C-alpha cells in the first residue's frame, strides 16, 4: 500500500501488479486428512474464538456500549457505524474496521460490474451495441486481469472519443507498461475518483459520473459508468483504514486479502495479527483465521488447510472435508461440520456465561457461516467449482440478518454475473444499494445483461 | 416468552415420537391445478411438474450452466434457424415406453396446434416453427427466425406422444393432468387431498427419495408447528411472520427461493364507479401500505433488509424494467383521495362515499392461499377503505376457482381482487394487460383495455433491440401507475423451510426441484 502524492493532493492508490496467477501455491499432493477427531474446533482454539471471548461480560461490555458496534455488527450499517466510530472520542479500531469492510465491498462491486460488463458486451455482444462498450469491456478486463484488455482498449481508443476514451487511453498505457506502474495516472483519468482519504470520511458519491451511450440502431440512451470508479473507492477506504491505524497496513491487508481483485497481486502474505475489534461479528473466529484465509486465497492455496489446522479454527473445522490429493472439498461434510461448530461454540459460550443468553445464538451462527465460507474458499482455491457453488448457496442461506455481510453478498453477486445468473445478482445488488453508497454503478451493466438474457430466454408467462 | 419459544417447547414434546418414515411430506399453499406442463397457472403447478417432467434444457441451480438430461448433443442447422438434437438413449416414460425423437416433435407440434389452448404454448408460437424427426433419437427443431442462444429458447417440458395417441390438440382437462407420464425423477399422481410422488429410476435420473407427498397447508402457524413436530418435513413458502420461528430452531433450516413475486389489487375498470380513473387513484391514496405491511407481513417502518419492498408498477424494484422515476405510494393521503373523489362526482354523506346517491361498497376477493403469506391482508385492506369511507365485503376464493375464473377474466362480479404474480428470468407482463383478444391478454383479470397500454405492449413485443424493450416497459410502468388497473403493493421475498434431515436440498430458482436427484431424506 502506498499513497501517491500528485499535483498537490493525495490519490489513494493501491500498488497493483499484473496478476500472474493469484493462487501462487504449488499443488500439494497428500492423502485425505485424518478422521474426525470428535470435535470440530480443538478445545484450545474454541476458547479463543471471539464469540466465546464475548461471553465474558468484561470483554463484551465495551462493545455493547458503543453504538458503532451495534450499527456494524447487528445492522451491517456501514455509514452509520463509521459516523458512530468517528464521533468524539473516535474509536480508530472501529473506523479501520469499517473502512476495511467498505474497501472489500467496493472491490466486490467492481468485480460485479466487470463480470457483468464482460458478459453482456463481450460474451453476448450484439450489432446494436455502441462502440464505447469496447472501452468498458477493456476496463473490466483489466479488473479481471484478462490479457484481452489491450485489444479492447485499443479498439476503444481507435473508434471513440471523449472522456470515456481518455480514461481508456490512460488505462491502456498502464496496462501496456506492464501494469506495474503506480495507479496515479489512470486513476486521475477515472471520472469520479475520490479525494484524499480522510479517516471517517465517506466520499460523496451522489453524483457519480455516468456515461450516456447510444445504441447503433435507434440511438436510444444506455447509461453506463466506469467500473474503475469503484476500484478507486476501494482504494480510498483501504487508505483510510491504514490511516486510522496510524499507518499500520498489516491489519487491513489481512482483512482484505480474500477480497482483492484479480488485477491485484499481493506481493507477500501480510504478517501480523488481528485484535478482537477486527474479529468481532465477523466470520473470522480467531486471529489466525485471517492469515489462513489470506494464505488460502493468495498464498499456498489449498495446502494452507494443513499448514494452519493447528492455529486456525476455520482450518481445523474444514480440514477433514478437504482432500488435498484429489484437490476437492466435500460440501456436505463442510456444512455438517459448520453445524457442529455452531453447537460447539454455543455450548462453550453457555459454559462461560453460566447459562444461555440471547446473543449466543446469533454469534454462534456467525461461526457456522465462517466455516461454510472457509470451505467455499478452499473449494475455490482447489478450482473445485461444483462444491464451491453448493457452498455458496449454503452461504447465502446462512447470511441472514446480522450475518449478512455486504462484501460477501456482493462477491456472490459477482459470481452470479459471471455465470449469467442476472436475476439473483440484480436482487443482491439492489439490497446493497442504500447501504453501500455508490455501488449502484454496478447496476448499469447488470441491467443490460438482465434485459439481454431475459429477451433471449425461453418464453415465460406470469404465474400466480 | 415469545411465540417462537412456545412453538419450540411445544415441538420438543412430540418431536421424538413422531416420524414419517421414509416418505417425505411437504406443504404448499394450495394443491396444483394441473400436472400438465402446458397448463401451469400457478407456481405450485410448475414446482410439482418439475418433479415429473424433464425440460429440454434447464439452468443448473448451482452455477447457472445450461444443461439437459434429454439431449446428448446438438448442432445448429438451417443457418441458425434450426437445432438438431441427438437424444440420450435408454430414457423411459413413467409408463415404460421409450422416450424418442417422436416425443420431442409431438410436443413442439402440440404447442403449435391452435387446438391446444395453452398460454404457455401460445408464448412459444412466436419462436417455434416446427419439428422434424430424423431418426429414433434425432430431432430437428425449427425456429421462426434466427435466434441467439437457441438452447435457451427450448425450456419446455417434453410430453409423451403415446399418452395423447398422437393428437396434438391437447385440452387441459384430460386424465393426463392428474396422472401424467413424464421422464422426470418422480411419477406423480394428483388426488383430492394431495399429490403423491413415487421415485422412478431412469437412464438420466436416480432419485434418492422413494416417496414424497405434497399436501395443502392450512393455518400457517399450524404448518410451522407441524414442521417443528416433524409431521411434515418442508414448507415451500414461509410467511415472513414465521421466519424467526424457523431461524431459531436447531432442527430447521430457512432456505432461499429465488422468485420474483409482486402483489397487487386488481381493479375492475369495467364497473362504475371504478371505470373512472380518478376513483382508482383515490383508492390508491386511501391505502396505507406501510401500515398494511407492518400488520400483515410484520415489517416495521424503516426496517433494514426488509423482505417486502413497495412497488409502483408491475416489476420488482431490482428489475431493469422497473421505472425508478415513478415513486411508490407508501402512506395514505386521504386529502388527495377526497379531492379526487369529489372531482369524480362522488359525495360524502355521514362519513360514507356515495355514487349516484348510493353508498359505495366494493366486493373484494383474494385467492385463499395468499392468506398464508400475508395473514389477514384482505381484512386490513378492507378496514383501510372502510376508515376512508368506502364499504366492502371480502371473500376468499378457492385456488382452483382462481385459476379457472379469476385469471381467465370471469370474476367480473368482483370489484377488487388481491393477487400475486411470480416471474423467473423472463418478466414479460404483456399477458396481464393486453386487451383480451386473439390469444392475447390471457391473464388479464378484469379484461382491462387501454389503447395506449396496448401500443406500449406491442412496442415491447416488436422491440428488436434491448433498449427499445426496456424503454417500452418503463413507459408502461409509468402509464399503469397513472391509470391503475392494479393498485401495486409490494414485492415479497420467498423463503422455504426444511427439516435438517432433508439433505442436499438445493433449491432451483423458480422451478424449485430441478436438482431433486441429489436430495436425500434421513428421517
pLDDT in tens, A71-113: 999 999 999 999 999 999 999 999 999 999 999 999 999 999 9
pLDDT of residue B165: 93
Contact A457 B155 (CB under 8 A): yes
| A421-A424-A428 Cα angle (round to 5) | 135
pLDDT of residue A178: 82
Q: The dihedral of CA A183, A184, A186, A191: what is its sign?
A: positive
In whole angstroms, give the CA distance from residue A69 to residue A281: 9
CATH class of B56-172: alpha beta
Name which of A389, A393, A457 is nearest B426 (Cβ-Cβ): A457
| A356-A357-A359 Cα angle (round to 5) | 130
Contact B149 A456 (CB under 8 A): yes
Which uninterrupted H or E stretch holds A294? helix A287-298
DSSP classification of residue A34: P
CB contact at 8 A, A46 and A164? no
Grade residue A267 by pLDDT with cuts at 50, 70 and 90: low
pLDDT of residue A35: 44
Contact B465 A458 (CB under 8 A): no
Instruction: List chain B pLDDT tens, one digit each, 523 residues.
Output: 344 434 433 333 333 333 334 689 999 999 999 999 999 999 999 999 999 999 999 999 999 999 999 999 999 999 889 999 999 999 999 999 999 999 999 999 999 999 999 999 999 999 999 999 999 999 999 999 999 899 999 999 999 999 999 999 999 988 999 999 999 999 999 999 999 999 999 999 999 999 999 999 988 999 999 999 999 999 999 999 999 999 999 999 999 999 999 999 999 999 999 999 999 999 999 999 999 999 999 998 878 778 999 999 999 999 999 999 999 999 999 999 999 999 999 999 999 999 999 999 999 999 999 998 999 999 999 999 999 999 999 999 999 899 999 999 999 999 999 999 999 999 999 999 999 998 899 999 999 999 999 999 999 999 999 999 999 999 999 999 999 999 999 999 999 999 999 999 999 999 999 999 999 999 8
Which residues in chain A have Cβ-Cβ distances shorter than 8 Å to B259?
none
Give the minimum alpha-carbon distance from A70 to chain B in angstroms, rounded to a whole number.
14
Which residues, in sequence order, are CB contacts of B380 under 8 Å at separation 6+? B291, B292, B295, B296
Which residues, in sequence order, are CB contacts of B203 under 8 Å at separation 6+? B88, B89, B90, B91, B92
Which residues in chain A have Cβ-Cβ distances shorter than 8 Å to B470?
447, 451
A271 exposure class (CB count in 10 Å sphere: 0-12, 13-18, 19+): exposed
Contact B470 A451 (CB under 8 A): yes
Mutate to test the interface with A, among B318, B400, B418, B443 (most CBs of A within 10 A): B318
pLDDT per position as a tens digit, B368-418: 999 989 999 999 999 999 999 999 999 999 998 999 999 999 999 999 999
Name which of A220, A221, A451 is nearest B320 (Cβ-Cβ): A451
Give the minimum alpha-carbon distance from B494 to chain A in angstroms, rounded to a whole number.
12
| A248-A253-A257 Cα angle (round to 5) | 175
In whole angstroms, give the CA distance from residue A160 to residue A166: 9
Q: Please count the CA atoms within 13 angstroms of the CA of A62 that sit on its side-chain side.
A: 10
Q: The dihedral of CA A59, A65, A69, A70: what is its sign?
A: positive
The residue of chain B nearest to residue A219, with distances taken between CA atoms, is: B467
Strand order across the B82-87 sheet: B71-77, B82-87, B138-143, B128-135
C-alpha torsion angle, residues A395, A397, A398, A399 (rounded to 10): 80
| Residue-averaged pLDDT of chain B | 94
Count of A–B CB contacts within 8 Å?
168
Grade residue A271 by pLDDT with cuts at 50, 70 and 90: confident
**Phi (first) and psi of residue A3, to 5 degrees:** -105, 125
Q: Does residue B321 belong to the interface with chain A, where contact is any CB pair within 8 Å?
A: yes
Name which of A217, A389, A400 is nearest B465 (Cβ-Cβ): A217
The residue of chain A nearest to residue B59, with distances taken between CA atoms, is: A421
| A149-A151-A155 Cα angle (round to 5) | 115
**A335, β-bridge pairs:** none
3-state DSSP assignment of residue A100: helix
pLDDT of residue A4: 26
Angle A92-118/A406-418 helices, nearest 10 degrees?
Answer: 10
The residue of chain B nearest to residue A434, with distances taken between CA atoms, is: B304
CB contact at 8 A, A99 and A237? yes
The residue of chain A nearest to residue B472, with distances taken between CA atoms, is: A220
Task: State yes or no: pLDDT of A268 exceeds 90.
Answer: no
pLDDT of residue B22: 66
The residue of chain A nearest to residue B314, with distances taken between CA atoms, is: A462
Q: Does residue B216 belong to the interface with chain A, where contact is any CB pair within 8 Å?
A: no
**Letter string b/e over residues B437-451, b meaning 16 or more CB atoms within 10 A of that residue's CB:** eeebbbbbbbbbbbe
Give the minimum alpha-carbon distance from A337 to chain B in angstroms, rounded to a whole number.
13
Which residues, in sequence order, are CB contacts of B290 under 8 Å at separation 6+? B301, B330, B331
Which residues in chain B have Cβ-Cβ distances shorter than 8 Å to A221?
467
Domain coordinates in residue numbering, chain B: 21-53+184-259+494-523, 56-172, 261-492
Q: Does residue B258 belong to the interface with chain A, where contact is any CB pair within 8 Å?
A: yes
Contact A332 B503 (CB under 8 A): yes
The size of chain A, in residues, is: 464
Name which of A386, A423, A435 is nearest B258 (Cβ-Cβ): A423
- CATH value of B261-492 in 3.40.190.10, 3.40.50.1390, 3.10.105.10, 3.20.20.70: 3.10.105.10
**Phi (first) and psi of residue B408, to 5 degrees:** -85, 5
CB contact at 8 A, A405 and A399? yes
Bigger pLDDT: A371 or B10? A371
Grade residue A154 by pLDDT with cuts at 50, 70 and 90: very high
Q: Please count the CA atoms within 13 angstroms of the CA of A47 that sit on its side-chain side.
A: 4
The residue of chain B nearest to residue A217, with distances taken between CA atoms, is: B465
Contact A463 B422 (CB under 8 A): yes
pLDDT of residue A30: 28
DSSP class per residue in A307-370: HHTTT-HHHHHHGGGEETTTTEE-HHHHHHHHHHHHHHHHHHHHHHHTS--TTHHHHHHHHHHH
User: Span A209-237, mean pLDDT?
Assistant: 95
pLDDT of residue B438: 85
- CATH value of B21-53+184-259+494-523 in 3.90.800.10, 3.40.190.10, 3.10.20.30, 2.30.30.790: 3.40.190.10
pLDDT of residue B234: 98
| A54-A56-A58 Cα angle (round to 5) | 105
Contact B256 A451 (CB under 8 A): no
pLDDT per position as a tens digit, B304-340: 778 999 999 999 999 999 999 999 999 999 999 999 9
Give the minimum alpha-carbon distance from A416 to chain B in angstroms, rounded to a whole number.
8
Name which of B64, B424, B471 is nearest A460 (Cβ-Cβ): B424
Q: Does residue B245 belong to the interface with chain A, where contact is any CB pair within 8 Å?
A: no
Contact A126 B318 (CB under 8 A): no
Residues 465-504 of B with CB under 8 A from A: 465-471, 500, 503-504
Q: Does residue B24 belong to the interface with chain A, where contact is any CB pair within 8 Å?
A: no
In whole angstroms, give the CA distance from residue A353 to residue B443: 58
Grade residue A33 by pLDDT with cuts at 50, 70 and 90: very low
Amino acid at each position: 500500500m502506498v499513497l501517491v502524492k500528485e499535483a498537490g493532493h493525495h490519490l489513494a492508490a493501491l500498488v497493483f501488479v499484473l496478476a500472474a496467477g493469484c493462487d501462487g501455491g504449488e499443488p500439494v499432493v497428500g492423502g485425505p486428512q485424518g478422521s474426525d477427531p470428535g470435535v470440530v474446533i480443538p478445545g484450545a482454539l474454541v476458547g479463543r474464538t471471539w464469540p466465546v471471548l464475548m461471553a465474558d461480560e468484561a470483554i463484551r461490555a465495551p462493545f455493547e456500549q458503543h453504538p458503532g458496534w451495534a450499527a456494524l455488527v447487528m445492522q451491517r450499517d456501514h455509514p452509520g457505524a463509521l459516523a458512530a466510530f468517528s464521533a468524539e472520542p473516535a474509536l480508530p479500531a472501529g473506523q479501520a474496521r469499517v473502512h476495511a469492510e467498505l474497501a472489500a465491498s467496493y472491490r466486490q462491486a467492481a468485480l460485479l460490474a466487470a463480470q457483468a460488463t464482460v458478459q453482456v458486451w463481450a460474451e453476448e455482444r450484439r450489432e446494436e451495441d455502441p462502440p464505447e462498450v469496447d472501452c468498458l469491456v477493456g476496463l473490466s478486463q483489466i479488473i479481471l486481469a484478462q490479457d484481452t484488455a489491450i485489444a479492447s482498449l485499443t479498439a476503444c481508443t481507435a473508434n471513440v472519443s471523449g472522456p470515456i476514451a481518455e480514461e481508456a487511453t490512460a488505462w491502456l498505457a498502464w496496462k501496456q507498461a506492464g501494469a506495474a506502474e503506480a495507479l496515479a495516472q489512470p486513476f486521475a483519468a477515472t471520472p469520479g475518483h475520490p479525494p484524499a482519504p480522510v479517516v471517517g470520511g465517506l466520499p460523496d458519491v451522489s453524483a457519480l459520473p455516468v456515461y450516456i451511450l447510444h445504441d447503433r440502431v435507434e440511438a436510444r440512451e444506455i447509461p453506463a459508468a466506469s467500473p474503475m470508479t469503484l476500484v478507486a473507492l476501494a482504494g480510498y477506504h483501504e487508505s483510510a483504514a491504514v490511516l486510522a491505524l496510524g499507518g499500520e497496513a498489516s491489519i487491513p491487508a489481512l482483512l482484505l486479502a480474500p477480497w482483492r481483485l484479480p488485477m491485484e497481486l499481493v506481493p507477500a502474505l501480510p504478517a501480523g495479527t488481528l485484535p478482537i475489534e477486527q474479529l468481532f461479528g465477523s466470520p473470522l473466529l480467531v486471529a489466525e483465521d485471517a492469515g489462513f484465509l489470506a494464505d488460502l486465497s493468495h498464498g499456498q492455496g489449498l495446502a494452507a488447510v494443513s499448514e494452519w489446522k493447528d492455529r486456525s479454527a476455520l482450518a481445523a473445522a474444514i480440514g477433514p472435508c478437504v482432500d488435498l490429493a484429489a484437490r476437492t472439498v466435500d460440501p456436505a461434510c463442510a456444512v455438517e461440520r459448520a453445524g457442529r461448530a455452531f453447537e460447539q461454540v454455543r455450548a462453550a459460550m453457555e459454559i462461560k456465561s453460566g447459562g444461555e443468553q440471547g446473543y449466543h445464538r446469533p454469534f454462534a451462527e456467525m461461526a457456522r457461516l465462517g466455516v461454510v465460507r472457509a470451505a467455499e474458499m478452499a473449494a475455490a482455491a482447489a478450482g473445485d467449482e461444483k462444491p464451491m457453488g453448493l457452498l455458496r448457496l449454503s452461504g447465502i442461506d446462512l447470511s441472514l440478518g446480522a450475518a449478512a455481510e455486504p462484501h460477501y453478498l456482493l462477491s456472490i453477486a459477482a459470481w452470479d454475473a459471471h455465470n449469467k445468473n442476472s436475476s439473483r445478482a440484480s436482487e443482491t445488488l439492489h439490497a446493497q444499494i442504500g447501504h453501500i453508497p455508490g455501488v449502484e454503478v454496478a447496476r448499469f451493466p447488470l441491467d443490460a445483461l438482465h434485459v439481454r438474457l431475459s429477451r433471449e430466454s425461453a418464453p415465460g408467462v406470469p404465474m400466480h | 416468552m415469545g411465540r417462537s419459544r412456545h412453538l419450540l417447547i411445544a415441538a420438543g414434546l412430540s418431536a421424538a415420537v413422531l416420524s414419517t418414515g421414509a416418505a417425505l411430506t411437504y406443504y404448499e399453499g394450495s394443491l396444483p391445478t394441473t400436472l400438465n406442463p402446458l397448463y401451469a397457472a400457478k407456481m405450485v403447478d410448475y414446482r410439482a411438474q418439475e418433479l415429473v417432467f424433464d425440460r429440454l434444457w434447464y439452468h443448473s441451480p448451482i452455477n447457472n450452466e445450461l444443461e439437459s438430461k434429454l439431449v446428448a448433443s446438438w448442432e445448429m442447422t438451417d443457418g441458425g434457424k434450426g437445432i438438431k438434437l441427438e437424444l440420450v438413449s435408454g430414457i423411459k416414460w413413467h409408463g415404460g415406453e421409450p422416450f424418442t425423437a417422436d416425443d420431442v416433435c409431438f410436443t413442439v407440434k402440440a404447442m403449435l396446434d391452435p387446438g391446444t389452448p395453452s398460454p404457455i404454448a401460445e408464448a412459444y408460437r412466436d419462436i417455434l416453427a416446427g419439428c422434424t424427426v430424423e431418426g429414433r433419437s434425432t430431432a430437428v427443431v425449427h425456429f421462426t427466425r434466427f435466434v441467439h442462444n437457441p438452447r435457451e429458447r427450448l425450456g419446455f417440458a417434453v410430453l409423451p406422444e403415446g399418452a395423447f395417441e398422437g393428437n396434438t390438440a391437447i385440452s387441459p382437462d384430460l386424465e393426463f393432468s392428474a396422472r401424467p407420464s413424464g421422464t422426470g425423477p418422480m411419477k406423480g399422481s394428483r388426488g383430492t387431498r394431495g399429490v403423491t410422488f413415487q421415485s422412478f429410476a431412469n437412464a438420466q435420473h436416480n432419485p434418492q427419495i422413494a416417496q414424497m407427498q405434497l399436501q395443502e397447508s392450512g393455518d400457517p402457524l399450524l404448518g410451522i408447528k407441524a414442521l417443528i413436530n416433524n409431521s411434515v418435513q418442508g414448507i415451500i413458502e414461509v410467511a415472513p411472520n414465521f421466519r424467526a420461528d424457523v431461524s431459531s430452531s436447531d432442527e430447521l433450516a430457512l432456505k432461499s427461493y429465488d422468485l420474483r413475486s409482486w402483489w397487487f389489487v386488481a381493479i375492475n375498470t369495467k364497473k362504475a364507479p371504478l371505470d373512472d380513473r380518478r376513483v382508482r387513484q383515490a383508492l390508491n391514496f386511501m391505502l396505507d401500505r406501510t401500515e398494511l405491511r407492518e400488520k400483515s407481513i410484520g415489517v416495521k417502518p424503516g426496517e433494514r433488509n426488509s423482505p417486502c419492498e413497495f412497488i409502483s408498477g408491475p416489476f420488482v424494484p431490482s428489475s431493469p424494467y422497473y421505472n425508478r422515476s415513478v415513486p411508490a405510494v407508501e402512506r395514505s393521503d386521504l386529502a388527495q383521495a377526497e379531492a379526487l373523489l369529489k372531482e369524480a362526482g362522488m359525495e360524502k354523506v355521514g362519513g360514507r362515499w356515495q355514487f349516484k346517491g348510493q353508498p359505495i361498497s366494493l366486493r373484494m376477493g383474494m385467492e385463499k392461499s395468499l392468506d398464508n403469506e400475508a395473514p389477514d391482508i384482505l381484512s386490513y385492506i378492507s378496514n383501510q377503505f372502510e376508515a376512508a369511507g368506502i364499504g366492502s365485503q371480502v371473500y376468499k376464493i378457492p385456488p382452483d376457482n382462481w385459476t379457472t375464473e379469476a385469471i381467465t377474466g370471469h370474476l367480473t362480479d368482483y370489484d377488487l381482487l388481491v393477487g400475486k404474480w411470480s416471474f423467473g428470468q423472463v418478466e414479460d407482463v404483456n399477458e396481464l394487460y393486453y386487451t383480451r383478444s386473439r390469444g392475447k391478454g390471457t391473464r388479464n383479470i378484469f379484461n382491462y383495455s387501454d389503447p395506449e397500454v396496448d401500443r406500449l405492449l406491442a412496442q415491447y413485443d416488436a422491440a428488436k433491440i434491448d433498449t427499445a424493450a426496456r424503454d417500452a416497459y418503463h413507459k408502461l410502468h409509468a402509464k399503469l401507475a397513472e391509470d391503475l388497473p392494479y393498485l401495486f403493493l409490494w414485492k415479497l421475498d420467498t423463503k422455504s423451510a426444511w427439516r435438517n434431515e432433508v439433505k442436499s436440498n438445493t433449491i432451483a430458482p423458480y422451478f424449485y426441484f430441478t436438482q431433486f436427484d441429489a436430495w436425500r431424506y434421513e428421517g
